[in-house]
Chains A and B, each alone.
Chain A
Amino acid sequence: MSGILTKLWTALRGAANEAGEAAVDANATRILDQEIRDADGELRDARVALSEMMGKQSVEQNHLAEKRAKLEEYAGYIRQTLAKQKQAQGAGQSAEAAQSGALAQEIAAKYAEQEAQVKASENVIAEYGKNVDVLKQKITAGETAIRTLKQRADTVKAKQHVIKASAAVAAASSGTDTHARSALESLERIERRQEESLAQMDAANKLAAESSGEALEERLRKAGIIPSASAATDVLARFQSEAAGGKPGQAS
């Protein structure tokens, strides 16, 4: 029993999964576009983080320059003080020499402090530098990935357009056949009708010509306007009598 339930459950899960996949497939390009947009947004955030980090590095570099300037200044003071001490010692002014010595000691302590600060600042800058490099590499890799994704997405979209266009062409061409066939039939029908009409008109003309033409010829012949059917025989007879000694062209 439990086996059947398990199978039913698996079947249900399979159906749900298929339905989900079908929905995902149906919106595949839309989902892909959104994913690319999301990735692009994240990349933009990363660039902002990088620029902030570079800004902090730049500020720290300014601080380092200030600290180094101060260190250099202290070095100058130590040299000046030691020179004074030496001068005092040379002049036998032991109290002044001792005073300068103590001052030199004090400045040297400050110098050491400042030196430590310079080193700390240098370490911070180096650390920023490392992170900046890593972030730059990641951003470059991300940009390449997104560019490739966009290209592939464009290809997929172009293919989809081709498929849609092909489907449209196929559908249109089958429709074209039907229409062409029916047009041809219509044409044949029209031609047939025209032929029939022409034949009818011809027949009617013939009938009309025959009936009215006979009556008119008869009337003209009777009136002597057109020669009678025996006219040719008459002419021939006239030329035959001329040959026999009569005058040609003269009707009898």
Chain B
Amino acid sequence: MSVGTLFKVLARDAKEALAPAAPREALPPEPLKLRRGGFLEIDPLPYRMLQGRANFELGQSAQPIATRGLVDLDGTWLHRYYLDDDETWLQVKTDGGTDDASVSECILWQYWDCKTPANLTELKSIAGPASEIGLPTYEVGAFLYQRVWGVSRGQTELVPFVEQVFDKNDTVASFSCQHYAMLYRRRIDASPRQEYVLISVEECPRSLEVVTSIGIDLNPADLTVT
């Protein structure tokens, strides 16, 4: 290698070393030490105390986080953690950031129902204008819930958002799902916690489902993440 060539190689290396890193879409840090693979312990007592007064029933209170979901709502983030039992998932909402101080809401969810429409006609009958989804109230089990989103007196439109799903890698999403969802809630007597119903039409690469989940407010102090 000649001196000239050596100089060129060194100059190129120096340029590469000094050049700013190529911009890449950085994922926001996760709140409350939550992460895929982390072990989650939930204080079961508040959920036990709601027995008979809510649809929600906590199964396993300690299990690993299997999959992470992330929804970007332009300044607000929904961090979703799907637990190992395939029944329970935790949603942490953060506003204006994703650190612990930005946490504005935590809800512990359980799947209540899942319908798989075979075609568009079936989907319309389950979640279309003729269905109850989007009406001001919604009944699940023995309880009636009030709609949270939308202000119209009649049926309101489902809210669309995209969820990135991380089930194989912490930083690269395996796939994205399109959601069209509606949220309902109700107060629980003699409890500071509220119970929610989330109905979501989920359009994922290999599936189309109408999923109903039941959730209860979770106090971050209920959580121990290892």
Judged by a CB distance under 8 angstroms, whether A249 is at the interface is no
Within 8 A of B (CB), among A26-70: 55, 58-59, 62-63, 66-67, 69-70
B101, B190, B221: the one contacting A66 at CB < 8 Å is B221
Residues of B in contact with A, size category: 10 to 19
The reply to whether B100 and A59 form a contact with Cβ atoms under 8 Å apart is yes
What residue in chain A is nearest B46 (Cβ atoms)?
A73
A70, A106, A110: the one contacting B219 at CB < 8 Å is A70
Within 8 A of A (CB), among B12-57: 43, 45-46, 49
How many angstroms between the C-alpha atoms of A72 and B46 in the bound complex?
Answer: 12
Judged by a CB distance under 8 angstroms, whether A248 is at the interface is no
Please, which residues of chain B bring their CB within 8 A of the CB of A72? 192
The reply to whether B190 and A67 form a contact with Cβ atoms under 8 Å apart is no
Judged by a CB distance under 8 angstroms, whether B87 is at the interface is no
Q: A59-B99, A62-B101, A77-B46 are in contact. List 9 more A-B contacts (CB 8 A).
A: A63-B100, A63-B221, A69-B192, A73-B191, A76-B191, A77-B49, A80-B190, A107-B45, A110-B45
Please, which residues of chain B bring their CB within 8 A of the CB of A59? 99-101
Judged by a CB distance under 8 angstroms, whether B220 is at the interface is yes
The reply to whether B45 and A77 form a contact with Cβ atoms under 8 Å apart is yes
What residue in chain B is nearest A65 (Cβ atoms)?
B221
How many angstroms between the C-alpha atoms of A58 and B99 in the bound complex?
Answer: 12
Q: Which 9 A-B pairs have the closest CB atoms?
A: A66-B221, A70-B221, A67-B221, A77-B49, A59-B101, A66-B220, A59-B100, A70-B219, A66-B219
Of A55, A73, A80, A114, most B-chain CB atoms within 10 Å: A73
Given A63-B220, A66-B219, CB of A58 within 8 Å of CB of B45: no
Judged by a CB distance under 8 angstroms, whether B170 is at the interface is no
How many angstroms between the C-alpha atoms of A69 and B219 in the bound complex?
Answer: 8
What residue in chain B is nearest A61 (Cβ atoms)?
B101
Judged by a CB distance under 8 angstroms, whether B105 is at the interface is no
Instruction: Encode B99-135 as 1/0 by CB contact (under 8 A) with A.
Output: 1110100000000000000000000000000000000
How many angstroms between the C-alpha atoms of A156 and B186 in the bound complex?
Answer: 73
Judged by a CB distance under 8 angstroms, whether B222 is at the interface is yes
How many angstroms between the C-alpha atoms of A216 and B43 in the bound complex?
Answer: 146
Q: How far is the CB of B167 from chain A (nearest CB, A)?
A: 29
How many angstroms between the C-alpha atoms of A114 and B100 in the bound complex?
Answer: 20
A-B contacts, 9 listed (Cβ < 8 Å) = A62-B103, A66-B220, A73-B191, A73-B193, A74-B45, A76-B190, A107-B45, A110-B43, A114-B221
What residue in chain B is nearest A114 (Cβ atoms)?
B221
Q: How far is the CB of A201 from chain B (nearest CB, A)?
A: 84
How many angstroms between the C-alpha atoms of A110 and B101 in the bound complex?
Answer: 26
